């Protein structure tokens, strides 16, 4: 039986068919994509990298990011990181993944370079004039080495998932997990070789990697890859490249609606569907999208621990139900009570899942594994209910994460950054409602010295990526705590959000 790996996914496309298309830039056929992945994997292997080595990728959305993701997973384990991180953040994440190598663009990613762990290999990746990826490193090569092929059980990808504590959990995903996920997503949306996906999600997130990219490649279709999302050029790109679908967080959908004056945009007539995931989509936003862009909107439910998608509303003529995330796709979904008993249809409880795309457990975190896995089920931390026909409705998060346009932010991480300021005695971060992002970051602090709101926010900006920096800061006299001394984060959020 053929191995269930990312490399096998790339075999779906015919050699001369288009695989990746960068607007105004590089175009790769499936033959060229497979050749580049093999060549880059061999180069990484000649640098001394091998099975079990984590290869950190700090790259923007580009051909190099896709090729290096698969190549790094072929040789060892890919570890994509957000290029927007600051030096302290890079230092934590690079050390936590135990990065053996760091791949960056030439002359860029200065913060990541400064944070590279001792002994790790620095690699610069770029495209040459022929459109081939070139790797530069001071590490001596062993020309006798080659990459070989990965096995189903090999760890292909590690990503961090933010929780409510200051230490994010590290999720290892095996080749077979990613293979199952890509095939499931492709099957859900009946993706075919004539489909063209417009990828507007970052490739350091599971959403962009698996839904927009690998699921498309698993169907033999083409991925159109702009450098970043731009609402001004979005529809011209859709039109020029004949995109048949795109997947995004609700924030991006809302930005597109804000730019639209009511007329149907050029190119939208070719869209088979619009997918929404990574954050709750309001029924009104769904209605407006379908009204203005003329394509069915399918809300899906995913998370890193499941290699992305767990549920989705179906394509027409299936029933897509606003306010739900659809039915299970590739995984089994259940609802569990606090006593670990499975609940019947219509009863609220914790959403639990099991299936081939689900991780076997967090890395080096026995406590989290004990809490998150029960009798073969993974506990998502989300509260929901299943309807009689299997449609899942999410009611709320049991966790306290801030969800800013699909970016999951751990409030404790922000607390810790604020507490580093010499004038801050106590700090608690939380989400506040925002019309575009869904939630924005806010925080309350108790001062023990002299400092202004502006000064504290500037201090935080030096230590946190921009999307994590509080946009509202409240200076308060005290922060409520329980009898055992735990911060009542929800109480603080409710009281301060009510002031708006």
Four-way CATH pick for 402-497: 3.40.50.720, 3.10.20.90, 3.30.300.30, 3.20.20.70: 3.30.300.30
Give residue-wise pLDDT tens across range 291-311: 999 999 999 999 999 999 999
State the number of CA atoms in the 13 A half-sphere of 181 facing the CB. 32
Question: What is the reported pLDDT for 279?
Answer: 79
Question: What is the reported pLDDT for 410?
Answer: 74
Separation of alpha carbons 203 and 103, rounded Å: 14
* H or E stretch covering 494: helix 489-497
Give residue-wise pLDDT tens across range 34-86: 999 999 999 999 999 999 999 999 999 999 999 999 999 999 999 999 999 99
DSSP string, 192-248: -TT-EEEE-S-TTSHIIIIIIIIHHHHTT-EEE--SS--TTTHHHHHHHHT--EEEE
Inter-residue contact 234 to 224 (CB < 8 Å): no
Q: Could you identify the residue written with the tokens 């020309």?
A: 143
Question: What is the reported pLDDT for 485?
Answer: 41
Inter-residue contact 347 to 365 (CB < 8 Å): no
- Percent of the chain at pLDDT above 70? 96
Total Cβ atoms within 10 A of residue 294: 13
Backbone angles phi, psi at 104, to 5 degrees: -140, 160
Separation of alpha carbons 433 and 445, rounded Å: 19
Provide the pLDDT confidence category of residue 285 given band limits of 50, 70 and 90. Answer: confident
Using DSSP, state whether 400 is helix, strand or coil: coil
Angle at which helices 283-293 and 250-259 pack, to 10 degrees?
50
Separation of alpha carbons 444 and 251, rounded Å: 25
Question: CA 500 from chain center: how many Å?
Answer: 31
**Residue 458: CB partners within 8 Å, gap ≥ 6?**
none
CATH superfamily of 6-293: ANL, N-terminal domain (3.40.50.12780)
Inter-residue contact 441 to 468 (CB < 8 Å): yes
Mean pLDDT computed over every residue of the chain: 92
- Give me the CATH topology for the region 320-397: Luciferase; domain 3 (2.30.38)
Question: What is the reported pLDDT for 483?
Answer: 38
List the chain domain ranges.
6-293, 320-397, 402-497
- Looking at residues 129-149, what average pLDDT do you find? 91
DSSP string, 298-366: EEEEEEGGGTEEEEEPPPTTS---TTS--EESSSEEEEE-TTSPBPPTT--EEEEEESTTS-S--TT-H
- Looking at residues 236-264, what average pLDDT do you find? 92
Separation of alpha carbons 219 and 198, rounded Å: 15
* H or E stretch covering 55: strand 54-57
- Looking at residues 132-154, what average pLDDT do you find? 93
The answer to whether the pTM exceeds 0.75 is yes
Provide the pLDDT confidence category of residue 481 given band limits of 50, 70 and 90. Answer: low
């Amino acid at each position: 039986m053929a191995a269930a790996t990312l490399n096998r996914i790339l075999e779906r496309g015919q050699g001369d068919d288009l695989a990746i298309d960068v607007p105004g830039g590089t175009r790769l056929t499936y033959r060229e994509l497979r050749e580049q992945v093999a060549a880059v994997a061999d180069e990484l292997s000649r640098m001394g990298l091998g099975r079990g080595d984590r290869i950190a990728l700090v790259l923007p959305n580009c051909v190099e990011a896709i090729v290096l993701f698969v190549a790094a997973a072929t040789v060892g384990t890919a570890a994509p990181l957000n290029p927007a991180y600051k030096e302290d953040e890079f230092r934590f994440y690079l050390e936590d993944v135990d990065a053996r190598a760091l791949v960056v663009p030439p002359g860029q990613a200065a913060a990541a370079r400064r944070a590279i762990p001792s002994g790790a290999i620095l690699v610069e990746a770029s495209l040459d004039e022929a459109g081939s990826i070139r790797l530069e490193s001071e590490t001596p090569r062993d020309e006798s080495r080659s990459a070989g092929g990965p096995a189903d059980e090999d760890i292909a990808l590690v990503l961090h998932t933010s929780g409510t504590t200051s230490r994010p959990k590290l999720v290892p995903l095996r080749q077979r997990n990613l293979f199952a996920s890509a095939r499931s997503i492709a099957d859900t949306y009946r993706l075919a070789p004539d489909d063209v996906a417009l990828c507007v999600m970052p490739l350091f997130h599971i959403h962009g990697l698996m839904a927009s990219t690998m699921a498309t490649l698993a169907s033999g279709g083409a991925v159109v890859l702009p450098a970043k999302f731009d609402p001004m050029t979005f529809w011209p790109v859709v039109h020029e490249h004949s995109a048949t679908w795109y997947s995004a967080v609700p924030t991006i959908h809302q930005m597109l609606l804000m730019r639209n004056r009511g007329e149907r945009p050029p190119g939208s007539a070719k869209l088979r569907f619009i997918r929404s995931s990574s954050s709750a989509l309001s029924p009104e936003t769904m209605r407006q999208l379908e009204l203005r862009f003329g394509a069915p909107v399918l809300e899906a439910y995913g998370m890193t621990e499941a290699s992305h998608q767990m549920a989705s509303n179906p394509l027409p003529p299936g029933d897509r139900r606003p306010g739900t995330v659809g039915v299970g796709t590739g995984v089994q979904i259940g609802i569990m009570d606090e006593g670990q008993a499975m609940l019947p249809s219509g009863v609220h409880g914790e959403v639990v899942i099991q299936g081939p795309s689900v991780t076997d457990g967090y890395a080096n975190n026995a406590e989290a594994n004990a809490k998150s896995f029960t009798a073969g089920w993974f506990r998502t931390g989300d509260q929901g209910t299943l309807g009689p026909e299997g449609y899942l409705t999410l009611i709320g998060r049991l966790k306290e994460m801030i969800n800013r346009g699909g970016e999951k932010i751990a409030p404790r991480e922000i607390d810790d950054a604020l507490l580093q300021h010499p004038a801050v005695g106590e700090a608690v971060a939380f989400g506040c409602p925002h019309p575009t992002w869904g939630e924005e970051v806010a925080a309350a602090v108790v001062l023990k010295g002299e400092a202004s709101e502006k000064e504290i926010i500037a201090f935080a900006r030096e230590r946190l990526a921009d999307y994590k920096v509080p946009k509202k800061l409240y200076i308060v006299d005290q922060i409520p705590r329980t009898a055992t001394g735990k911060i009542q984060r929800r109480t603080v959020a409710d009281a301060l959000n009510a002031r708006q």
